[in-house]
Amino acid sequence: MSAPALDVQDVSVAYGGGRLALRRATLSLQPGRICGLVGMNGAGKSTLFKTVMGFLPPLAGQVQVFGHTVRHAQKAGWIAYVPQAEAVDWDFPVSVRDVVTMGRQGRMGLLRRPTAADRAAVQDALDRVAMSDFAGRQIGELSGGQRKRAFLARALAQDARLLLLDEPFGGVDVGTSETITDLLVDLAAGGRSVLVSTHDLGTLETFCDDVALIADRTVLTVGPTAQTLTAPNLARTFGGRSPLHDPARIPQEVR
């Protein structure tokens, strides 16, 4: 059997001052599957993403990507990450095409000059997120949903085997949400692996093969969506009654 696309084993992470931000988290994602990461704000979702990316070193435990260290996977270009918010100077004169081309830098030579193959990969990524008509537009001129699609295109251009998406559906219109969902399903069908955090419980079963529920900075349970997304499990995740039984009890940040 091939190694998991992502294997997080008993990982603990602390920020400055020793406060635990992730506590003995364990999660495994197989190749060609989409796993939804669900939990309240502050539960540890973004910390988990940053740890998988190597931005935060674990205090304990280990993370492997396709059987290798995070450092190896990063150097090989196997991981692409789309955070909740990009640290971008929206007034900087850079076009959408320029942003997407940044996803190819790890594959370019020392001079960082895009080849015909790089340009073709960028155009394909733009096409797949329906942003070709905006390729020449300055990035700051885009709407929130268009910006999300542009940075998703950058991840696609990288041609990574594992995609990490932190709240890609936040603040986007229905059309963008459907575009992203359809794209993720297509990527998984093509063998890519996806870990995506989302607050939209209603759509999880439409595109996620698996669900990981996280609360109090630890992963409570991981498994096939239909078996994992139960009222008792959600009650543990969100505290008190399950939002499946009482939508009014869904915390504000997940409505």
Contacts for 61 with CB less than 8 Å, ≥ 6 apart: 8, 9, 10, 11, 12, 24, 25, 26
**168 plus 155 within the same structural domain:** no
**198 plus 245 within the same structural domain:** yes
What's the domain range around 122?
85-159
Block means of pLDDT (10 residues each) for the chain, length 255 residues? Answer: 89 85 94 95 91 93 96 93 78 90 79 85 95 94 89 93 92 86 94 92 91 92 93 87 44 36
**111 plus 30 within the same structural domain:** no
pLDDT tens readout for residues 8-65: 999 999 987 778 899 999 999 999 999 999 998 889 999 999 999 999 999 999 999 9
**122 plus 178 within the same structural domain:** no
**20 plus 62 within the same structural domain:** yes
**152 plus 166 within the same structural domain:** no
Domain boundary among 138, 159, 180: 159
**153 plus 223 within the same structural domain:** no
CATH number at residue 191: 3.40.50.300
Domain count, the chain: 2
Domain boundary among 130, 159, 188: 159
**61 plus 35 within the same structural domain:** yes
pLDDT of residue 251: 38
Predicted structure pTM score: 0.88
pLDDT of residue 176: 86
**64 plus 96 within the same structural domain:** no
**167 plus 245 within the same structural domain:** yes
**127 plus 231 within the same structural domain:** no
**168 plus 145 within the same structural domain:** no
pLDDT of residue 248: 39
pLDDT of residue 109: 62
Domain boundary among 159, 177, 203: 159
